[in-house]
Amino acid sequence: MSDGSRVVATVSTEAEAEMVRELLSEAGIRSRAQMSGGGIGLGVLTGGIGLGAAASRDVYVEEQDYDKALEVLNAAVPSEEELARLSDEAGEGSAP
């Protein structure tokens, strides 16, 4: 990727970054993830022990793919109505 990249998402873990990258890849968008700025300084505060997979990650895409990447990621986020429906369905399954 070139230096013309932008952060399209910041996630909490390496696993979340990989999920975001997979969504983008399925849409034909190249991306990369690296530890967020906040995670870098934390290693110094903890005596140099890095958080590894538990550190937050920034996901970058090329500038020209940024708007499309946002559309892809926003489409993957369930609406409030969808979350409520899923919650209701989960509650029905646990009732005796």
In this prediction the pTM is 0.68
List phi, psi (to 5°) of 62. Answer: -65, 150
The one-letter amino acid code at 63 reads: E
More confident residue, 10 or 38: 10
CA 33, CA 56: separation in Å to the nearest integer? Answer: 10
Fold of 5-94: Alpha-Beta Plaits (3.30.70)
Per-residue model confidence (pLDDT) at position 77? 82
Which residues make beta-bridge pairs with 32?
60
> So where are the chain's domains?
5-94
Whether the Cβ atoms of residue 5 and residue 60 lie closer than 8 Å to each other: yes
Q: Return the percentage of the chain with pLDDT > 70, whole number.
A: 76
Task: For the chain, report the end-to-end CA distance as a whole number of angstroms.
Answer: 53
- Tell me: the pLDDT tens digits for 61-93? 999 999 999 999 998 887 888 888 888 888 875
